[in-house]
Structure 1
Amino acid sequence: MFLLKLQVGKDSSLPKDRLGQNSERTQRKDAKAVEESVEALSQEQRESFGQILNRCGVIKINVPGLPEGKAELGKALIQIVRRTRVENTREYTPNVIEPSFGIGRIFYCLLEHVYWHRPGDEARGVLSIPPLVAPSKVLIVPLSHSPGFASHVKKLSSRLRTLGISHTVDDSSASIGKRYARNDELGTPFGITIDFDSLKDDTITLRERDTMKQIRASVDDVLGAVVSLVNGSELWTDVLKRLPEFLGQSEDE
């Protein structure tokens, strides 16, 4: 690298033969223009001017704004030397750390890990949200729209509301299997079916979402099981051990 040391117009007492023929005109008022022109020289130009300066003792540099358009600089005004500068560099690989982890990402991960399809039926999706965090805990499914069913649904819904169990009622005309299937995909963990036997003996069936197994018992026993399952004090396998499994109701009806 060629470094420049410039002293323009700072020593007007130097002999004319040391400054160059036009050095008298290179006064302090022209120093800035001369300095800018010198600094604008490329490394190749500096090397060339350095050789001329050593050989002839004076160089001519184009300086816009001067009357002749050039400035003659002698060794007393400019020095061009070549120096090697050592620069220490430190190489590193940039890394980006993104510490933000909002509730949206956590919720997406939860859904990603609990969503699956029934074996052999890709159309039946299941969202296996734990009962403790499921928005709706129980689905009430009446098999008929007759007045007797409506009163049972109303009574059961009132008791669930008193127990603090969130629930929904699906009394549409779709089959019981379709009603259960669409609520399985919504993540509802349990389903209570009110059928014609419920009007006779006040028993109901309780269905578990993931296994699709059902138990049949009195309303009090079923509601007690629902409370235990929702608050986590009991598992579905525990309920199957103490309450009879029900095999009579097909979801294809």
Structure 2
Amino acid sequence: MITVKGVSKSFGKHTVLSDIDLEVPESQTYALIGPSGAGKSTLIRTLNALEGIDDGEITVDGVPVHGKRTDLNDLRSRIGFVFQSFNLYPHLTARQNVSLAPRKVRGRSRAEADERSAELLSSLGLGDKLDAYPGQLSGGQQQRVAIARSLAMDPTVMLFDEPTSALDPEMIKEVLDAIRRLADTGMTMVIVTHEMGFAREVCDAVVFMADGRIVEVAPPDQFFTAPGSDRARDFLGKVLNH
């Protein structure tokens, strides 16, 4: 579903991605983990061209993401992206936030979009918050609205860039549970996360990055019990014993 070949990216003289190769099969959930500054967020942002690349190529569902003839608006409508910050419209209710893009981009009727929005929000435990405004919702609830907003476009891939990093600890679980249920549906997902327990329990593979490179890709049990590199062992020693 996602193929990354020989991708490099620099900001000025600073190399943030160096010769990245990665394949994410359909219906798999991959966790991107590693120390700060490893290039995780930059990599996930290249997957829908929020960041450009200097070399290499990326395809998502057969479409060359950075191809000169690629319709980025069409591509992005099929790639859900959930940010650290919720980016909801404060003057719209939860249901209106979710139904806006299907109406404007997909041309769906208000009734159809509203019905689908209510279904999605209810599936994420927000059936009683349809008419609430973002300012009336907790951080965890706002992030679940943001997830519903992405799902409303019927994406083939979902990308998450540290979706719980802006949340209070007690709100993290409700967002991770929502992503866990999404994984159970067979959605193809790539998640930048610092939640090691979640990565181990839910993800099909762990991609460990450091210094702009992918150091290793392994099934979670293998990675967390017997990492194949000194760099990963050092990282796990710090984060698991923290």
Taking structure 2 as the reference length, what is the TM-score of the superposition?
0.25
Structure scoring higher RCO (CA < 8 A, sep ≥ 6) equals 2
Taking structure 1 as the reference length, what is the TM-score of the superposition?
0.24
